[in-house]
């Protein structure tokens, strides 16, 4: 059994209470005038930090060819098993011979772990910063190849949210 010793003996000022109460009031008053941390969501959008794992995209080369070679490494790596790929011969002359005919991700099954991104040898699949992609039906949350390529067009400058913010302010 240890002996309990009081580490702090209240002084006369502590026993008066009021100095401490005023100190407390000053703390809340300081916060009253401080800058607020609220982001008013639909009007202002939170910009996620680098490395945020949001909606997927399929990258393209500068000339418009799809980077993906349908090796299915991503669907093999996927712990949630949400990627479905059907490979086919690429329609373009030079470069890779395979490309995905069908590339479908079930966003409701996906856990956004980013393993597909790590597994990809061609840096074709990537997770973007987009976080607000809710929809009304399950079918709408199955994103196909063309949809993923469209996301690439939207996010290739890595500033999806700040750009929409700019376009909004220029409109008004």
38 binds other proteins (CB under 8 A): yes
HEC string of 107-156 equals CCCCCCCCHHHHHCCCCCEEECCCCCCCCCCCHHHEECHHHHHHHHHHHC
Q: How far is the CB of 43 from other proteins (least distance, A)?
A: 10
List the 98-106 sheet strands across, edge first: 83-89, 98-106, 142-143
The overall longest dimension of the chain from CA atoms, in Å, is 89
Least distance between other proteins and beta carbon 31 (Å): 5
Provide the CA 95 distance to its chain's centre, in angstroms: 32
Member of 12, 32, 41, 136 binding other proteins (CB under 8 A)? 32
Q: What share of the chain is helix, strand, coil (3-state, %, to 5)?
A: 35, 15, 50
Q: How far apart are CA 59 and CA 155, in angstroms?
A: 10
Residue 10, interface with other proteins (CB under 8 A)?
no
Q: Does 40 bind other proteins (CB under 8 A)?
A: yes
Give the one residue of 7, 36, 63, 169 binding other proteins; rule: CB under 8 A. Answer: 36
How near is the Cβ of 135 to other proteins at its closest, in Å? 25
Q: By CB under 8 A, which span of 37-45, 48-56, 69-77, 158-166 interacts with other proteins?
A: 37-45
Segment near other proteins (CB under 8 A); pick from 29-37, 76-84, 89-97, 137-145:
29-37
CA distance 47 to 132: 11
Given candidates 1, 3, 4, 37, which one binds other proteins under the rule CB under 8 A?
37
Contacting positions for other proteins (CB under 8 A): 18, 21, 24-25, 27-29, 31-32, 34, 36-38, 40
């Amino acid at each position: 059994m240890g002996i309990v010793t009081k580490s702090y003996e209240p002084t006369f000022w502590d026993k008066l209470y009021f100095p401490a109460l005023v100190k407390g009031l000053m703390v809340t008053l300081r916060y009253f005038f401080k800058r607020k941390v609220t982001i008013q969501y639909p009007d202002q959008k939170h910009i996620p930090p680098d490395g945020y794992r949001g909606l997927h995209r399929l990258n393209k080369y500068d000339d418009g060819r799809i980077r993906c070679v349908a090796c299915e490494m991503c669907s093999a790596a996927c712990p949630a098993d949400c990627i479905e790929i059907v490979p086919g011969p690429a329609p373009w002359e030079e470069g890779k011979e395979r490309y995905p005919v069908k590339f479908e991700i079930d966003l409701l099954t996906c856990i956004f772990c980013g393993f597909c991104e790590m597994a990809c040898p061609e840096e074709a699949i990537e997770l973007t910063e987009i976080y607000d992609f809710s929809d009304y039906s399950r079918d709408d949350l199955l994103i196909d190849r063309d949809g993923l390529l469209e996301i690439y067009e939207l996010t290739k400058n890595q500033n999806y949210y700040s750009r929409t913010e700019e376009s909004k302010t220029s409109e008004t």
